[in-house]
Amino acid sequence: MKLGKKVIVITGSGAGIGRASALGFAQEGASVIVADINLVAATKTVDLITAAGGTALPVQTDVSDPESVQKLVKQTLSTYLQVDVLVNNAAVQVNKTAEDTSFEEWNRQLAVNLGGVFLCSKYFLPLLRKTKGCIINMSSVNGFFVEPTCAGYCATKAAIIGLTKAMAIDHGREGVRVNCICPGYIDAGLAEGYFQSQADPVKARADAGKLHALGRIGNPGEVGRAAIFLASDDASFITGAALVVDGGFGSGFPPQ
């Protein structure tokens, strides 16, 4: 077990990559706080972890709301007394051009995707400093390579890479590592929403697979394993990194 006795907070872990990561962390012996705006979904993740013999706690959290995040910190501390790893994973995606995106949609993406990373990091850092813990932010290959009709989403994912590097510099000497993961297309909620927004969702999904050198989209557990690596002592000299987990999306292969 790579993570025995560590306490991990994962936002947006009621579904998709967050849920798969939560299951993976629990399998490695960690106690997991499943923080999601959707309490039913968070509880389902906890049930799956418990059924597999792991330890987890569901906490209803809106990462865009400072009061909600502070409650998450309090609840985590009162249950587990410490925090070793924060995985900032929660996000929403509006599949529109900048012109078609409403001001409310723009603000919501910024508040959840980028504001959520900021707020959770801000309020968990005092605890992470004590354990010499780490932060893992979920960015995307869309932080490097943009795609049509998700302008605001791409902007937030690029900004997360910058914020990751800035926090790594600010907190490295305190013993806190800060990294991000940039997945390619993963078979989870946000990619599915993107496929559904296209004229032919089945074709969109098949075409997405062809954008990757491996010829397929990834599965959520493949991202979870990268998060476990970054959280483990095996990654003790890695900070400020943007770890690409993209099946060769950025390899320059043309769609085939």
| CA distance linking residue 158 with residue 137, whole number of Å | 12
| CA distance linking residue 29 with residue 183, whole number of Å | 24
Q: Does 18 bind ligand NAD (CB under 6 A)?
A: yes
Q: Please say whether the beta carbons of 38 and 18 come within 8 A.
A: no
Q: Does 191 bind ligand NAD (CB under 6 A)?
A: yes
Q: Does 161 bind ligand NAD (CB under 6 A)?
A: no
| CA distance linking residue 68 with residue 61, whole number of Å | 6
Q: Does 183 bind ligand NAD (CB under 6 A)?
A: yes
Residues 102-131 that bind ligand NAD (CB under 6 A): 112
CA angle 138, 141, 146 (to 5 degrees): 125
Residues 24-83 that bind ligand NAD (CB under 6 A): 36-38, 41, 61-64
CA 86 to chain CA mean position, Å: 10
Q: Give the residue, chosen from 9, 15, 56, 178, that forms a contact with ligand NAD under the rule CB under 6 A.
A: 15
Helix (H, G, I), strand (E, B) or coil at 160: helix
| CA distance linking residue 72 with residue 154, whole number of Å | 27
Nearer to ligand NAD among residue 191 and residue 235 (C-beta): 191
Nearer to ligand NAD among residue 90 and residue 228 (C-beta): 90
Active-site pick, 80, 123, 153, 194: 153
Shortest Cβ 217–ligand NAD spacing (Å): 7
Give me the sheet containing 177-183, strands edge to edge: 55-60, 31-36, 7-11, 85-88, 134-138, 177-183, 242-245
Applying CB under 6 A, the span of 72-80, 85-93, 95-103, 195-203 interacting with ligand NAD comes to 85-93
Q: Does 134 bind ligand NAD (CB under 6 A)?
A: no
Nearer to ligand NAD among residue 61 and residue 239 (C-beta): 61
Shortest Cβ 163–ligand NAD spacing (Å): 13
State yes or no: is 153 an active-site residue: yes
Q: How far apart are the two ends of the chain, measured CA to CA in Å?
A: 40
Q: In which residue are the tokens 């849920």 written?
A: 19
Amino acid at the residue 49:
I
Binding footprint of ligand NAD, residue count (CB under 6 A): 29
Binding residues (CB under 6 A) for ligand NAD: these are 11-12, 14-18, 36-38, 41, 61-64, 89-92, 112, 138, 140, 183, 185-186, 188-191
Q: What residues are annotated to the active site?
A: 153
